[in-house]
Amino acid sequence: MTSALPASDAVDEHGYVPVISLAGAHDPQRREKVARYLGDALRRSGFYIVVDHDVPRYLFDRFYATALAFFRQPAAVKAAYGPVPGDLTRRGWTTRFRAAAGIGLETDEDAAEAWTMNPYDPTLGWRNLVDLQPGVRAGIVHPNRFPPTPGFRAVLPYFLAMESQILTLLALHATDLGLPIDYFARLCDQPLTNLAANYYPRQHQAPADDSSCLGPHTDLGIMTALMHSGQRGLQVIDQDHPDRWVPVPNVPGGIVVNAGDELVLVSGGRYRSAYHRVVCPDNEERVSVPVFMQPGPDRVITPACPPPLGESGYEPLDSWEFFTRRMGIMYEGAGH
Ligand SMILES: [Fe+2]
């Protein structure tokens, strides 16, 4: 563990992750104010929770129940739905990954397992697959690994509702950053949006002091959003007092949102991509379903805003190269 991170038990809560209502955000009178609240949150902590949003709670609850039923099966059953060879996005069931490796930290394997999906699936018809470069196509175009657990495809309407919500939030951030309202809609046309159902099995003993169920990391993409299940455990590093972890407020049905590394680049460094981790509660299994939006694999991401005075600018980033590099590090040595 690097000394740049706070001690595992240094936890403090003081409203650092704000809860923001989206009520009336479509009203031109209120829109600017909401955009400013959201932008202020990403400038300060990199995280916020929105309520009065557009994602129906039942979409999440339906998938949560069926995902839990899938994860409770023996590993040998779940292993039949692991990634297929050549899928660089690693759709399906995966274990033994290390989230912290993506940002260069050495940790034990995470206590989580995950099932992931994305829209570059030839059977969904949701993305333009014809114009992809052959090398990218080989790495990204594969079928999702849907298990036959009853109702599992309830993940699809949740995915679409959350993707729509992220684009709505990004339009507000475009306003906050002084960009055209459709800036992110154009950047994230044909996005490589990745959904992960994370499962944290019941921990029969308290974790060691220096361990977390999902190690400290930043998210690599533009924006991450997940519906809060009411289960605690997600913590964010306090960037004003970097010797403290801050628990994300418990707002069941709220959407937890954070900026990824690519949004920091687009914002010219105005927004923050914060270290976060998951600490498992004792004796409780936990499921979270984050949705990660990244630009499509043919995109080069460039800063849309100049760097703040005195700071050096960001180099353009090849979206596909960056995604596959971070994924490769995180899943090096992973099972399934
Ligand atoms: Fe994350």
What CATH number does residue 226 fall under? 2.60.120.330
Report if residue 9 sits inside a domain. no
Helix 57-71 vs helix 155-177: angle between axes, to the nearest 10 degrees?
130
Task: State pLDDT tens for residues 213-246.
Answer: 788 889 999 999 999 999 888 999 998 888 889 9
C-alpha dihedral sign at 26, 194, 264, 109:
positive
Residues with CB under 5 Å of ion ligand 1 are 219
Question: Is there a domain that residue 114 lies in?
Answer: yes
Which amino acid is present at 113?
A: E
Q: How far is the CA of 273 from the centre of ligand 1 (A)?
A: 10
Considering only CA atoms, give the Rg of the chain.
Answer: 19
- The rounded Å distance from CA 179 to ligand 1 centre is 26
Residue 104 confidence (pLDDT): 64
From residue 282, alpha-carbon distances to 195, 205, 233, 255, 259 in Å are 26, 7, 10, 24, 29
Give bridge partners of residue 135 from the DSSP assignment.
none
Residue 5 domain-assigned (yes or no):
no
Report whether 142 contacts 91 (CB < 8 A).
Answer: yes
Q: How far is 80 from 251, CA to CA, in rounded Å? A: 35
What does the pLDDT read at residue 157?
98
Q: Domain span at residue 90? A: 19-330
| Domain contains 7 | no
Is the pLDDT reported for residue 211 higher than 70?
no
In angstroms, rounded to a whole number, what is the distance separating the alpha carbons of residues 254 and 237?
20
Q: Would you give the DSSP letter of residue 318?
A: E
* Number of structural domains found in the chain: 1
How many A from CA of 130 to the centre of ligand 1? Answer: 31
Residue 164 falls inside a structural domain: yes
Q: Ligand 1: distance of its center to the CA of 204 in Å?
A: 24
Q: Is residue 48 part of a domain?
A: yes
Better-scored residue on pLDDT, 101 or 310: 310
User: How far apart are the C-alpha atoms of 163 and 169, rounded to whole Å?
Assistant: 10
What percent of the chain has pLDDT above 70?
A: 87
Separation of alpha carbons 134 and 144, rounded Å? 19
240 found inside a domain: yes
What average pLDDT is seen over the chain? 89
For residues 161-193, b (16+ Cβ closer than 10 Å) or e, as one string?
Answer: bbbebbbebbbbbbbbbebeeebbeebbebbbb
Residue 27 CA, ligand 1 centroid: distance in Å: 32
Kindly report the length of the chain: 336
Q: 199 in a domain, yes or no? A: yes
Task: Give the pLDDT confidence score for residue 247 in this predicted structure.
Answer: 93
SS3 261: helix
Closest CA to 274 of 12, 13, 4: 4
Reported pTM: 0.92
